[in-house]
Structure 1
Amino acid sequence: MTDTIAPPRAERAVPPPPKTPARRTSAWLSTHPRARLTLLLTAPLFWLVLVYIVALVLLLVTAFWSVDSFTGEIITDWTLDNIVTVLTGTLYQTVTLRTIGIALAVTVVDVVIALPIAFYMAKIATPRVQRLLVIAVLMPLWASYLVKAYAWRSVLSQDGLLEWVLAPFGLHTPGYGLTATVITLSYLWLPYVILPIYAGLERVPDSLLEASADLGGRSWRTIRHVVLPLAMPAIIAGTIFSFSLSLGDYITVNIVGGTTQMLGNLVYTNVGAANNLPLAAAIALIPIVIIFGYLALVRRTGALDNL
C-alpha cells in the first residue's frame, strides 16, 4: 500500500482586532514621546501650581490688605501698612533674628552629628550593617511628630530622665526654653540631614581614599582635603532641610520653648487669637524670602542635585 499525502488546508486569515478609541490613542502615544511626557506631568504640575504657587500668590496678596479694627473684617484695599510694620517693628526684628539663629544652630548641630554617622554608613559599615543603619535612621520618621516632641518635653522636664542622669554630677537639665528648642528640633530633622550626606558620600570613589592613604595622608587629613570637598554639595543639601524646616516650625516651640517665640508662633497668633490674617501673611513672607535667598545661594554649589 502506498501512503497518500493529504493536500494542505488553506489557512484562514485572522482578522485584525478592531481599532477602538483606546487602541488608537495608545498607538498615537507610542509614536509621540513628547505627548506621553506631557500627559504624565500634567496632573502633578497642576497640583503643584494649584496648592503651592497659587497659595503663595494669595498669601502675598493678603499681606497688602488690612483689617477693620472695629468689625474685624478684612478690607481688600491695597496698603503697605503690614509690610512696614513687620520691617520696622522691634518685636518682629528680634523674633526674626532669634528664628534665624535657632535655624542655624539646629543646622550646625545636625551636620556635626550627621557627618560621622553618614561616613560610617557609606565607607566603613558592611552591606548588612549599612542596611540596618539606614533602617535605624528612617525609623524615627515613622513616629508622629507630636509624639517625638512631647517625648523630649518629658525628657527635658525638671523631673525627667535627663535630670536624673545629670544630678549625680551636680548638673541640671536646661529645662524649657531656647536650648530645649534647639535640642528637640535637631533630633526631629537629623534623619533629613543624614540621608543626603550618606547618598553623597556613597558616590565618593574608594580609590581616592586609598590613594590618599598610599601617599601618606592620615585619616583627618584625608577627610579634610578629600572627603569634605567632594561631599560639600551633599552637606549643603542636608542643611536645606534642617534650616528651612526649623525656620517655619512653631509646634515644637509651643511644646518645649517656654516663653521663646519664633516667626511661626507670631503667624499662628495673628491667624488665631488676633484674627489678623493680613498681618500674619506679612510675617509669613519673612521666612519665605529668607529660604528663597538661601536656595539661590546654594544653587550655585550644585547641592540641589543631591536632593
Structure 2
Amino acid sequence: MRFLIPFILLVNFVYAQTNIVVSILPQQTFVEKIGADKINVVAMVTPGSNPHSYEPKPSQMVHISKADIYFPIGFGFEDTWLEKFANQNKNMKFVEMTKDIKRIMMKKHNHHHGDKHNEHDSHEHKKHKEHAHHDEHDEHDEHDEHKEEVKYKEDPHTWTSPQNVKIMAKNIYDTLVEIDASNKDYYLNNYNNFLEEINQTDKKIKEIFSKIPKDSKFMVFHPAWGYFAKDYNLVQFPIEVEGKEPKPKMLKRIIEEAKKENIKAIFTQSEFSDKSAKVIADELKIKVIKETPLATNWSKNLIHVANTIANNK
C-alpha cells in the first residue's frame, strides 16, 4: 500500500499536460499540431463571435486561472482583457506567437480603390509615420476626390498566410521545448510534420492560382485576407473596415468600382453583418459567399477560399 501513493504521483507527473489558452481557433489548431497529447489548449473566441470585441465568459476565466501559457494574436479584445487575464493568473506566461512576422497595414477606410495586399507593409508604415503630413496630403490629392482622411492600423489576421504560420509553428515549438524540455524530440517530430503540411497547403494554393491573372481582385466585407492576398499576388477589395457598414454614398462608389473591376462574388463572415454585401450582390447580380478565416481546419479552409476565388474570376 505504501507504494501506491508514490505510483499515483508518478503517473500524474508523467501524464501532466501543459495548459494553454489562445485567442482564436486557428491558433488552437497550430498548438495542437505540435503539442498533441502533451498539451491541453482552449480558445477564447467562440465560433461566430467577433474577435475584435469579444468578451470572455466566466467559465472561460476558469481556463485562464489554470493556464501555464497564453498566446495572444493581436485582436482588439486583447487590449482590454490581457491585463485582466494576467491579474487572474499571475503565474501564466504570455508568449508572442507572431514574433518575427512582418506586419502589413490595414486602411481604416478609403473604399474608392482596391486594397492590394492591404497596400502597406511595416516598412511603408514607418515611412508613412515619418512623413505623415506629406503622405496624407498626397494620398488625399491623388487618390481621394472626397478628401477623406486615410489612417492605418496593423492587420491582425496573420495566420491567413502559410509563410506566417511557419513562423508561428517555430515560436510554438520553441515555447513548448522551453517549458517541457524532456519531450523535445516529440515536439520536434510534430513540428516537422506540421511544416510539411504547411508546405503542401502552400503548394496546392499556388497550383489553384496558377491559371488566374496576377493581381486578380476579390471582394470581401471584412478585410481579413490581406496576408493571403500578399502571399499569392491578389488584391483584396474590402467593403468595410472595423465592422462598420459603408454609408450610402460610399456604397454607390463601391458598386461602381465593382462593376468596373468585374467582381464576381463577395466574401462575407458569420462574425459580421452582411447587409451591405447583399445590397451590392443584388445590384451586381453576383454571389455572396460565407467564409471565415477563423475556421478550425486552417489548411482546408485556405484551399477552399483559393478555389472559390479562382472559380469566380
How high is the TM-score relative to the length of structure 2?
0.26
Normalized per residue, the structure richer in strand is 2
Higher relative contact order (CA 8 A, sep 6+): 1
Normalized per residue, the structure richer in helix is 1
Q: Which has the larger radius of gyration?
A: 1
